[in-house]
Amino acid sequence: MSFEKHGKGVIATLLVHADLIKRGYQVFTEDTSQGIIDLVAVHPETGETRYFDVKCLARRADGTKINRILKPVQREFEAESGLKIELVYADTETYEVQYPIRRKVAA
């Protein structure tokens, strides 16, 4: 993996981490570089717990966003645990964080 790609991924994760803190969540990070979940966020007032896979926002040559999907191991984890992993996008150029509409876990 190139330093540029790894560096962008680290920046994207830090952007989302900071954004979640601003939204009132306590945020916990993974302890490996290849985990199936990048961040776990817990809202101390509501008890809501959210699980995130952070993606660096990428665009095609025409400017449209490249949407990502969960990896098979992540979908399997969801099915077995009943937990939902949310994809969240961070733009490392504008520092914008995008939370797509939350989806239901596949049964």
Q: Where are the beta strands (DSSP E) in the chain?
A: 26-29, 39-42, 49-56, 85-90, 97-98
Mean local confidence (pLDDT), 61-85:
94
Please enumerate in sequence order all residues whose Cβ is within 8 A of that of 95, keeping only pairs 6 or more positions apart, or say none. Answer: 15
Phi, psi of 33 (to 5 degrees): -90, 0
Higher-confidence position of 19 and 1: 19
Give the integer Cα–Cα distance in Å for 24 and 78. Answer: 25
The answer, yes or no, to whether residue 71 has pLDDT greater than 80, is yes
Average pLDDT, the chain: 90
More confident residue, 66 or 105: 66
Taking every pair of C-alpha atoms in the chain, what is the biggest distance, in angstroms?
43
Instruction: Report d(CA 2, CA 101) in Å as an integer.
Output: 31
d(CA 58, CA 91): 8
Q: DSSP 3-state assignment of 17?
A: helix
Rg (CA), the chain: 14
For 13-65, write each residue's pLDDT tens digit.
999 999 999 999 999 998 877 789 999 999 999 999 999 999 999 999 999 99
Helices (H), 1-107: 3-22, 72-81
Whole-number pLDDT of residue 6? 76
